[in-house]
A and B are shown apart, each in its own frame.
Chain A
Amino acid sequence: MAIIEIKDLSYTYPGEQEPILKHLTASFPAKEWTTIIGRNGSGKSTLARLIDGLLPIGHGQIMVAGTPVDGEHVDLVHQKIGFVFQNPENQFVGTTVEDDVAFGLENHRVPRDEMRYRIQQALNDVSMAEYAQTEPAMLSGGQKQRVAIAGILCLRPEILIFDEATSMLDPQARQNILGLLRKLKIEKGFTIIAISHDPVEAAAGDNVAILNQGQLVAFDRKEQILANTDLLQKYGLAVPFTEKLKQQLRGQGMQVPKEYMTEEQMVKWLSQQ
């Protein structure tokens, strides 16, 4: 079942000639993790912002969990979608961690007594409870992103959108956040839409969509897309590590299976050769 339906969506930034999105039609399945990949400037972030009603729709239609995204319903859409942005610094509104988490709750007029409980719970979910009183200047990028996630978790959204949310983090912090997302998806049944360049991040999800010059050029299970190195290279995207290795082994005359394999699966397969 699709939770987000996009029909014939086009968008041109004010003052630009060329549209950034061109007649895009897509639907995103509920309770699944879909990664949108594409080169810089392919329109990924624009698409994510349009879905959350953060830009006015130029042409076409978007439905989020049965609600049309338009000026009239934008508040409802913001409630259904939690959005985490790329730069950890520029989405930290509060003067301390708990104030930042409270920000969304205050906007949605949640009573104060309930706020305390929800903040505590959200900070526990992202393992940041001990930093409740800390100021943002004392936190690392990864910790700030955790706080950003807590800030949207406490609003109880159905859909989480991550717009290159791990791209400014170091590799360990990135792995940490991806692990947290996997846990949240399983425990709370979120629909996740992640925008990324990173094949490791794409491999963490269920589906992969490729965006190129404002158009959707592929949308499939990750196993199909990540194993299709020709497709990835054609659109200037990174090839997953296991596929690179398979390519090399094939070049040396070894018979390797065509299907996508995770590192673990590949080790297992090699040990059975």
Chain B
Amino acid sequence: MVEPAIEIQQLSYTYSPGTAFAAQALTNVNLTIQRGKVTAVVGHTGSGKSTLMQLIDGLLKPTSGSITVQETKVTPDSAKKDFAALRQHVGFVFQFPESQLFADSVLEDVMFGPLNQGQSEENARRSATDALDRLHFPVELRDHSPFELSGGQMRRVAIAGVLAMKPAILILDEPTAGLDPSGRLELMNLIQKLNQEGTTIILITHQMEQVARYADVVVALQHGQLVFDGQPRSLFSNQQLVEQIGLAEPNTVAFANQLDQAGIPLQQTPLTVQELANEIIEARQKGTFNNE
């Protein structure tokens, strides 16, 4: 049973309509984001990913079509409070979110969202502490100014700031950009943990290895249109489509394709290094190697 977290119907969006600078950013997108899953959104810069995410978070008003999140449905005619209601369900972590920090202390910054939601001071503090705990943010740094922290720590404070609003759906735009490899791994593990605790995750990324490794579903956009919606394995096994959308292959897939060309076909498209190794061992045992 697929339970929808977000239902998107016939959604289109045009920037500055009716002017010389009008630009159609999204055309007729129909999409269901499944509850409790990690959905990766991929596509070139300018493919409409960011526009779609801003629409889902109620930051833009659709030109036509509708978006339904739980009981809230927004259309071009919806009132302002409906868009605000959308934002109650959806949390949006922007790219380089540390650049939006502003408060005197880490805790105050994380409390900003809950206070805007109308929570009491005490509840907001509790929500903030809870969010920081979930991201394993050190207790002794919570009174410090966010500007004294390292890049990776600031990133976590910014994510906690969104998480503290208790969204059922969390959108993350390139959450690991600019972090070093160990920082990236740490953050992706935390995101995976949030998902296991029940948060629906939408992950915008250029890193196809992240898609292969963490996503349950992948959605691809090109020129503002939905061109793929399905499992990562079925996307990456379609080499032609991947190329046509202009995506990079995850390195395991690229390697498998090179093997295939060298005369070593693998059974299925490997998404992790472990799968790739298993496939190679299997191919070897089956004697596909040295088949002269």
Contact = CB atoms under 8 A, between A and B. Distances in A.
A267 B259 CA distance: 6
B273 A248 contact: yes
A41 B45 CA distance: 30
Contact of A40 (B152, B207, B277, B278): B152
Chain B at the A interface: mostly helix, strand, loop or mixed?
helix
Contacts of A140: 45
A270 B207 contact: no
B213 to A, nearest CB: 12
Contacts of A267: 255, 258-259, 262
A40 B259 contact: no
A130 interface: no
Given A140-B45, A171-B248, A249-B281, A271 B276 contact: no
B65 interface: no
A245 interface: yes
A263 B208 contact: no
Interface in B235-292: 246, 248, 251-252, 254-255, 258-259, 262-264, 273-274, 276-278, 280-281, 284, 289-290
Given A238-B181, A245-B273, A263 B255 contact: yes
Contacts of B133: none
Interface in A242-266: 244-245, 248-249, 251-252, 254, 263-264, 266
A123 to B, nearest CB: 22
Nearest to B275: A248
Contacts of B264: 270-271
A257 to B, nearest CB: 15
B89 interface: no
Contacts of B4: none
A231 to B, nearest CB: 14
B218 to A, nearest CB: 16
Interface stretch (B26-34, B68-76, B172-180, B225-233): B172-180
Contacts of B178: 167-168
A80 interface: no
B262 to A, nearest CB: 4
A197 to B, nearest CB: 5
A183 interface: no
B180 A245 contact: no
A170 B180 contact: no
Contact of A171 (B179, B182, B208, B281): B208
Contact of B180 (A197, A241, A244, A254): A197
A125 B33 CA distance: 45
A182 interface: no
B198 interface: no
Nearest to B257: A267
B167 interface: no
Nearest to A175: B248
Task: Kindly name the residue among B181, B251, B278, B290 whose own CB sees the greatest number of chain A CB atoms within 10 A.
Answer: B181
A90 interface: no
Given A40-B180, A236-B182, A264 B276 contact: no
A170 B204 CA distance: 12
A153 B148 CA distance: 37
Contact of A248 (B246, B254, B276): B276
Given A168-B177, A263-B255, A271-B262, A252 B278 contact: yes
B268 to A, nearest CB: 16
B179 A254 contact: no
Given A171-B248, A172-B246, A241-B273, A197 B181 contact: yes
Contacts of B276: 245, 248
A268 B207 CA distance: 26
Task: Kindly name the residue among B45, B150, B183, B278 whose own CB sees the greatest number of chain A CB atoms within 10 A.
Answer: B45
Contacts of B273: 241, 244-245, 248
Nearest to B95: A168
B289 A271 contact: yes
Interface in B176-199: 177-183
12 contacts: A39-B180, A40-B152, A168-B177, A170-B45, A171-B207, A172-B246, A244-B273, A248-B274, A248-B276, A268-B262, A271-B263, A273-B284
Interface of B: 45, 150-152, 177-183, 206-208, 246, 248, 251-252, 254-255, 258-259, 262-264, 273-274, 276-278, 280-281, 284, 289-290
- List the 10 closest A-B pairs by CB distance, nearest first: A248-B277, A238-B181, A170-B206, A271-B262, A236-B182, A171-B248, A40-B180, A267-B258, A241-B251, A244-B273
Given A236-B180, A248-B276, 8 more contacts: A170-B206, A245-B255, A245-B273, A249-B281, A252-B278, A267-B258, A267-B259, A271-B264
Interface of A: 39-41, 140, 167-168, 170-172, 175, 197, 236-238, 241, 244-245, 248-249, 251-252, 254, 263-264, 266-268, 270-271, 273
